[in-house]
Amino acid sequence: MPTSLTRRVIDQALALGFDAVGIAAADSLDQDDHALTQWLAGGRHAGMAYMAREPRRRSRPREVLPGAKSVIVLAMNYAQVEPDLRRGTARRAPTSKIVGRVSCYAWGKDYHLVIEERLAQLEAFIHATAGPGTDCRSYVDHGPVLEKAFARQAGIGFIGKNTLLITEAFGSWVFLSVILTTLELEPGLAQTSQCGSCRLCLDACPTGALIGPYQLDANRCISYLTIESKGEIPDELKPQLNGWVFGCDICQEVCPYNAHPKPTAVKAFQPDQGAGPWLDLERLMALTSDEAFREMFRDTPLLRPKRAGLQRNAMALSVNRKGGR
């Protein structure tokens, strides 16, 4: 059984709306560090130069927060109950519009806005409970921390062949965040892969971005190409976009662990709180100013690629529909 202090931290996190909580020791993850080094050396991080900045820190929490003893890993479910979106079958598009698909995580409000507020509340609870001298540092996928690796160590889930963390209760439809702390908490039990011989995600990826089990080449990943990339989408990959204008869920939709999603309890993640599952491409292309773009997608993840990026994606989809230039 967890110690009293560990139990109180976990219970408070659950009370704040996190769906799963685990503790990992703030030890170095040497195997994950080696894997990251190899991934970077192969150029598979594409244009994400920030991944190559001091990569050793990502697997060494004490280099990020001196004196760190524990990593509190938190997961929040964002799944929507759309049965026809699972198992690789796209929901029927609106027939009256030319549309592009949006990754499920971006249907509602920006998850950073939701999670950061709750992390701050959990940090305040830790400081009040543990007393003076306890230090914390929290991140929602924007800090030098291998969140998925520490989630595995904390026992929240295992890393699947599609390189995503898969939980027992929510599949891979979860946002991850972490709190590094100098507080010593009782760690959970690390999980190992439970994919077995399944390779549905590898076979379903239309661009071949999953070049092998647990190996992702971001240069070919639809999510990278439509969100993080600053350049043009390669002509040879445009026909494989499969209608995605922002992100991609294909390797999640076909995963057996995602076959029966539990709907999120967070209202902010619902489609009526943001862009929803489809973008009207004609309306998107009609935006002529960054101000109008920011107003349309205020407080949503779709601000990430900026107007130029989303309109680039829309153009790529339009070229496919017309059979090329």
> Quick one: tokens of 34?
């080696």
Which are the catalytic amino acids?
Answer: 141
Average pLDDT estimate for 74-102: 72
Does pLDDT of 318 surpass 80? yes
Other Cβ atoms less than 10 A from the Cβ of 40: the count is 14
Q: Read off the amino acid at residue 217.
A: D
Q: What percent of the chain has pLDDT over 70?
A: 93
Average pLDDT, the chain: 93
- Give the pLDDT score at 131: 82
- Give the pLDDT score at 97: 75
pLDDT band at 324 (very low <50, low <70, confident <90, very high): very low
Cβ-in-10-Å burial (0-12, 13-18, 19+) of 81 comes to: exposed
- Give the pLDDT score at 85: 45
Average pLDDT estimate for 164-189: 97
Chain segment 100-159, per-residue pLDDT in tens: 999 999 999 999 999 999 999 999 999 999 988 999 999 999 899 999 999 999 999 999
Q: Across 145-301, where does the E strand assignment appear? A: 157-159, 165-167, 174-181, 210-212, 215-216, 244-246, 278-280
- Give the pLDDT score at 170: 97
d(CA 265, CA 246): 23
- Give the pLDDT score at 132: 85
d(CA 213, CA 30): 20
Q: What percent of the chain has pLDDT over 90?
A: 90
Residues 6+ apart with CB under 8 A from 310: 245, 246, 279, 284, 293, 302
